[in-house]
Structures are given as structure tokens and as C-alpha cells.
Structure 1
């Protein structure tokens, strides 16, 4: 028990240091708590971009198993950004992104953006979210974009496993994929959150996958 507590204290210190090291983040306004490798971030930040930067900074730290984001966006200075302004900027950003098809639309509710529509690939869904994350006046983003249905293939599981093996960023011996129809379930262990996330991106690249259930457990070395 004492060893686990000491480990959590070490992770807490490392996360706090990483937040302070990250230029986009004002670490003074962010609280960090750690329990069994799970980091909880709390407090207020100036923008949604800063909130994302803080979460990504915590996920970069060795020993972090997961991050609970309890941060809220409260601009320090009043911004005269109307819902119409946000809608206009979101539409412009989506149309300017070469990876976002015209099927993607946005619904604006005050400072909250909900992305809807259907795309062919997960990378297009992620590109749509990235396009609006850093816009002025946006406080939260919900990505409700769905993937178009795809035909199943008998060798999907084998091809995903082969992709794991040839990927230099993954330890394929500890990551497993099982396929049911067009859904992939990932299990096993990863040494970092980055490895866990990358495994999901590899699975999403299959032309026969419309859903990835990432159950990989992060177990730091």
C-alpha cells in the first residue's frame, strides 16, 4: 500500500512538472490528483485548446494509466463571441480542412460544438474534431460523427494482427485483436497511453472496421 502511494506521489509530481513544462498550459490553475496511476485534473483553464493540451500533457507522463478530465473552460477575459460567430468560424474551419468531407456538419449551442454526419474513415472524424478544437469561443466539442457501413472480410483479424507486428511503435506480443463482423475488440497491455491509442489507430485503418472497442490496459514498466 505504501509503495503504491509513493508511486502515485511520484506520478503526481511528474504530471505537475509536465504541465508546467507545456507552454500552452497555465499550470497554476490546474489541480492534479493521482490514485493507482489514474490522474484527475481539476480547475479552470482559459480555452478549450488549453484544456486539451493539459490532458495530453498528463497522458505523456510515464506511469499514467488514465486521465479524468474535470477541467472547465472559463476565459479570464470577456470575449464578445456570439453563437453566430462561432457557427461561422466552425463552418469555415471544417470546409478548409482537406481531410473533412462535406458530409460533416456542426450544431452550435452557445459555446458547445456538436459534430454530426457520416464519413468513410476514422481519421476524417478525428480531423473534423481537430479543425474546431482551437477556435475562439469554443469551450467543448462532442464528436458524434459516425462511420459508413462496410462489408466484412474473413481475414480482417489476421490483417490487423499483421499490422501490429510490423509497427515499430507497438509490442504486438502483448496486444490482441478479435473481430466480430465489422467491430474490433482490442485487449492486452501497453506500456503507455500513447501505445494504447496508437493500437486503436492501427485497427481503425482497416477498410472493414466501423467500430473499435479499446480495452487495452496500460501497465507502465
Structure 2
């Protein structure tokens, strides 16, 4: 079992290795495998990149974040400018159904709403909004259109897990309640947890996922 000191050292090294993160401004503390990040970053996209880097480190069980997005006072972007840039970016991205997504900006906080057909459209919209300068956070309230759920959705997800070379399908449980899927069990790294969740989202009719998988 890895010690907190070992995890802390690896997290700091991974943040330094990630080119999109200014690691000098981010503090790292670890207690019982829970990593706490603190400090300042220059954009919301950098904040997400820091989180992703931490999840790549073995032994990380959870992340508590106290990182703030710093907006220079002489270059502050207005909410109107942020909204216009997000809408323009959505219009140019073929993956994002921009006519189905609403955008609200308040003090740099972006709220996305509307209804789309696929989960990957939600992910694309959220990532695109986070790349805009001046954005401090992105709240995803986008819903996925309900379609008939196949009777064997649980079996389809379990078979997808078995086909994946990274996952140990026997360690992950699947409970289906209509279009809502609850995942449980234990994996060895955040990457496995994310792979399992993505695989479950690919099943026809899935509209919500409760990911209760524990990272050992």
C-alpha cells in the first residue's frame, strides 16, 4: 500500500510533467489517499487539466479541490463576451448541437442547459465552454433525451466491461433501473473508473449514471 508521502511526491511530479498546468502555483497535500489541491490557476481549462493529472497517479482515492481561477484585473472578460464566444465556438463545432443547448453566464460562471441526444455531446459542450478565457466554472444542467431502454441493458454493459482489456469486469457491479445505471465495486485507478463510466454511457437508453466505484 502506498504512503501519503509517496502519493504526494508523484502528484507533484505529474503536475510538473503536465505542460498545460503551471504547477508552481498549485499546492498538494495528501491524507489517507485523498489529495487536496490548493492555489491559483489562470483558466478553468487548466484547473480541469490539473484534476486529470492527479487522477493518473496510482493510489489516489479522491480529490478535494480548493483551486481558484485567477482573472487578471486588467484583462477581465465580461459575461456578455464569454457568452458570445461560447456560442460562437458551439456553432463551429460539428459535434455540439448548439441549437439544443442554452448558455447562461454570471460572474464568469457558465451554466449549460437544454436537452441533447447523446452523452458525448454534453461532454463536448462542457469542455468547449471551459476553454474560453474568463470562465471560472461550468455547471452542466444538460439532460439527455429519453429513448426506449433495451431489456438487456445491464447485460450489454457487463459484456462491454468484459471486452475491455483494462477493466476487471468481475470487480464491477451493474444495477439497471430503467435508464439509470448504478455502478459499484472496486478498481485500482481513476482511469479504470472513467473507462467503466464511459462504457456504461454507450449503452442504448442510458440517461443517468451513479458511479459508486471505489478506487482502492
Match of 1:184 in 2: 181
For structure 2, list consecutive stretches of 5 or more residues without a partner in the other structure. none
Separation (CA, whole Å) in 2 of partners of 1:91 and 1:129: 12
Kindly report the root-mean-square deviation, in angstroms, between the aligned alpha carbons of the 2 structures.
1.4
1:169 deviation in Å?
2.5
2:208 maps to 1:207: no
2:115 maps to 1:118: yes
1:93 deviation in Å?
1.1
1:7 deviation in Å?
0.3
Normalised TM-score (structure 1): 0.93
Normalised TM-score (structure 2): 0.95
Matches within 5 A, 1:26-41: 26-41=22-37
Bigger Cα displacement from structure 2, 185-194 vs 71-80: 71-80
Matches within 5 A, 1:35-184: 35-76=31-72, 78-101=74-97, 102-184=99-181
* Residues 142 and 122 of structure 1: CA distance in aligned 2, closer, same or farther (over 3 Å): same
Question: CA offsets per residue over residues 81-111 of structure 1, 9 Å max, x none?
Answer: 2222111101011111211112011101121
Bigger Cα displacement from structure 2, 20-29 vs 140-149: 20-29
1:152 deviation in Å?
2.5
1:76 deviation in Å?
4.7
For structure 1, list consecutive stretches of 5 or more residues without a partner in the other structure. none
1:77 deviation in Å?
6.2
